[in-house]
Amino acid sequence: MTGFAHELERKEVTKTEIPVFHVGDSLDVHVRIKEGEKERIQIFSGVCIARKGGGLRETFTVRRIVEGEGVERIFPLHSPNVAQIGVKRAGKVRRAKLYYLRGREGKAARIKEKLATR
């Protein structure tokens, strides 16, 4: 990447205020949905199972269970359609990608909570 493009990307990344979250955390992702002329916010709650890329191209994957079926959504981190990201619970995991959760259900898919240190 050229110096100018790198500098431009760095400025854009620092513009948006994104909370610190890691793979394994339970998130509330507030997504802007435009239906015709109206715009509304929809909340997608689930566990962050992956983060990929860097800079403006960074994405994260959130997984949740809806009516017994696993649903995953990939969000660009710096997308204008992502209104807000809320961290509900910090998870304690030892992997960068939690794709193994796809094959698990019920209590086997639980993630331990990371307790705050003093």
If one counts the domains in the chain, the total is 1
Domain containing 86: what range?
A: 3-106
Q: Are 31 and 41 in contact (CB under 8 A)?
A: yes
Whether 114 maps to a domain, the answer reads no
Whether 37 maps to a domain, the answer reads yes
Closest CA to 95 of 38, 49, 46: 49
Whether 113 maps to a domain, the answer reads no
Q: Are 51 and 75 in contact (CB under 8 A)?
A: no
Whether 89 maps to a domain, the answer reads yes
Residue 4's pLDDT is 82
Mean pLDDT (whole number) for 1-5: 75
Mean pLDDT (whole number) for 21-25: 96
CATH number at residue 9: 2.30.30.790
Residue 77's pLDDT is 93
Whether 7 maps to a domain, the answer reads yes
Confidence of residue 1 (pLDDT cuts 50, 70, 90): low
- Sign of torsion over alpha carbons 8, 12, 27, 63: negative
**Residue 117, pLDDT above cutoff 80:** no
Whether 17 maps to a domain, the answer reads yes
Residue 86's pLDDT is 96
**Residue 118, pLDDT above cutoff 70:** no
Whether 72 maps to a domain, the answer reads yes
Q: What angle do CA 61, 63, 65 make, to 5 degrees?
A: 165
